[in-house]
């Protein structure tokens, strides 16, 4: 799963990329101009940008130059231009890869995976995200599987994204604004959206808002996920009946 920004002015191509990348379990945002792309990159964190060159407000090569001035996010150029000199120039200008249209989403996904492996390797990060464990909860981001006490959880895509994001920050109170930005990829939205998904997630974790075990809401602050507190068994035997002194 990757957070992808698609910069493409053709609405038909953009819609197809959004649908296919989303079906491949990626989180996708899209814009149709270079200036919108710069605004998105300034406000959100992405794993990769897919950049068309024929944009209406600014040529993609200029957009690439401006992107490189504010971020080192991997950029894959996607365009119909197939001039070799142009390809070399853009790669030297900071592009991480280059795809000539038309291409399949499988081809794009493979290129994205290769670019992400290279960028993580250069950053000294592990090639694969680690399996997350919080108490009896296990979340595998790569395989998009979650288990509670050894039993597989049947989660929707958004429920899994929410659980994985919180499990990656155990014990940390995550503000609702950050959840909207990172899980829903929205700069603003209705808190009810988060509350509904938290309610569904709690049900599948065998808890309620009144009696939380893993998911804890701090009113007006945010949400945190942490292992359940150890419950001591009730005292038994003669000492249990002894009145306090």
Structure tokens at 100: 């000539």
Quick one: 115 and 177 in the same domain?
no
Does residue 245 register a pLDDT over 50? no
Per-residue exposure over 123-133, b if at least 16 CB sit within 10 Å of its own CB, e if not: eeeeeebeebe
On whether residue 245 sits in a domain, the answer given is no
On whether residue 186 sits in a domain, the answer given is yes
What local confidence, expressed as pLDDT, does residue 190 receive?
66
Kindly report the CATH number assigned to the domain that includes residue 94: 3.40.50.2300
What local confidence, expressed as pLDDT, does residue 31 receive?
92
What local confidence, expressed as pLDDT, does residue 234 receive?
44
Q: Which of 92, 17, 25 is nearest to 50 (CA)?
A: 17
Widest distance between CA atoms in the chain: 89
Phi, psi of 223 (to 5 degrees): -130, 145
Condensed to tens digits (0 to 9), the pLDDT of residues 118-127 reads 776 555 555 4
Quick one: 73 and 158 in the same domain?
no
* Overall number of domains in the chain: 2
Kindly report the CATH number assigned to the domain that includes residue 152: 1.10.10.10
Percent of the chain with pLDDT over 90: 29
Decide: pTM greater than 0.75: no
What local confidence, expressed as pLDDT, does residue 148 receive?
94
Residue with tokens 């009730």: 234
Q: Whole-angstrom Cα distance, residue 158 to residue 200?
A: 11
Condensed to tens digits (0 to 9), the pLDDT of residues 127-137 reads 456 788 999 99
Q: Which residue segment(s) compose the domain that 33 sits in?
A: 3-122
């Amino acid at each position: 799963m990757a957070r992808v920004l698609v910069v493409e002015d053709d609405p038909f191509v953009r819609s197809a990329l959004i649908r296919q990348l989303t079906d491949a379990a990626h989180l996708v945002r899209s814009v149709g101009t270079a200036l919108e792309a710069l605004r998105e990159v300034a406000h959100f964190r992405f794993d990769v940008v897919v950049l068309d060159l024929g944009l209406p407000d600014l040529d993609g090569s200029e957009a690439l130059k401006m992107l490189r001035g504010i971020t080192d996010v991997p950029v894959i150029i996607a365009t119909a231009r197939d001039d070799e000199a142009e390809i070399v120039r853009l790669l030297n200008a900071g592009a991480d890869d280059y795809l000539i249209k038309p291409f399949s989403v499988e081809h794009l996904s493979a290129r994205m995976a290769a670019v992400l492996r290279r960028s993580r390797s250069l950053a000294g990060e592990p090639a694969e995200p680690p399996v997350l464990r919080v108490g009896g909860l296990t979340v595998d981001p790569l395989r998009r599987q979650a288990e509670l006490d050894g039993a597989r959880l049947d989660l929707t895509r958004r429920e899994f994204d929410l659980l994985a994001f919180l499990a990656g920050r155990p014990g940390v109170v995550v503000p609702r604004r950050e959840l909207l930005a990172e899980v829903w990829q929205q700069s603003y939205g209705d808190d009810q959206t988060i509350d509904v998904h938290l309610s569904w997630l709690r049900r599948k974790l065998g808890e309620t808002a009144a009696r939380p075990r893993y998911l804890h809401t701090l009113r007006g602050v945010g949400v945190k996920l942490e292992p359940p507190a150890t419950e001591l068994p009730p005292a038994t035997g003669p000492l249990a009946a002894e009145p306090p002194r």
